[in-house]
Amino acid sequence: MSEEDDMSAWGDALNEQAEAEAPENEDQGGGEDDPWASALSEQAEATEDEVSQASLDELQEGRGGGADKVDLDVLMDIPVTLQLEIGRATVSIRNLLSYTQGSVIEMDRLAGEPLDLLVNGTLIAHGEVVVINDKFGVRLTDVVSPQERIKKLK
């Protein structure tokens, strides 16, 4: 069965459904027009009249071929969030509420271990803290390969 026959059958089915529902609604509603039945019949008529088939050649022309150049400049202006993680700690709420100024929280890393650089929550690199012109910075010591990043996503 061709697509044209399918569309014609679909329109016929909608018309049959609209005709089948019309007598039920007249008995219940006292002869008032059913807006759903009229909408269905309008849709069936529009489907028969307005449907045109696209050839395979037309569809393939619309697809981007290999000659199209990807514009990476669009991606370059998207902002991302960088985070440096020095460590993590799990504490109870009781201990958390008891912290005051000067409290020390023990982290799960040793002094001198590299920090984690996260981009939008994904580990990208490891680095060490540096101070430049009285501002903190990070010197990257190890960049995580794309293959390793993909493994961690799974």
Q: If you average pLDDT over residues 103-127, what whole number do you get?
A: 90
Q: Is 53 a member of any domain?
A: yes
**CATH number assigned to the domain comprising residue 104:** 2.30.330.10
Q: What is the pTM of this model?
A: 0.47
pLDDT tens across 20-63, in order? Answer: 766 554 444 444 567 777 777 777 776 555 556 666 666 555 55
114 close to 141: Cβ distance less than 8 angstroms: yes
Residue 27 pLDDT: 47
Looking at the structure, tell me whether residues 87 and 124 fall in a common domain: yes
Please give the residue range of the domain that contains residue 40: 3-62
Q: What are the φ/ψ torsions at residue 28 (nearest 5 degrees)? A: -85, -35
Cross-strand partners of 140:
127
Residue 101 has pLDDT above 90, yes or no: yes
Q: Is 68 a member of any domain?
A: no
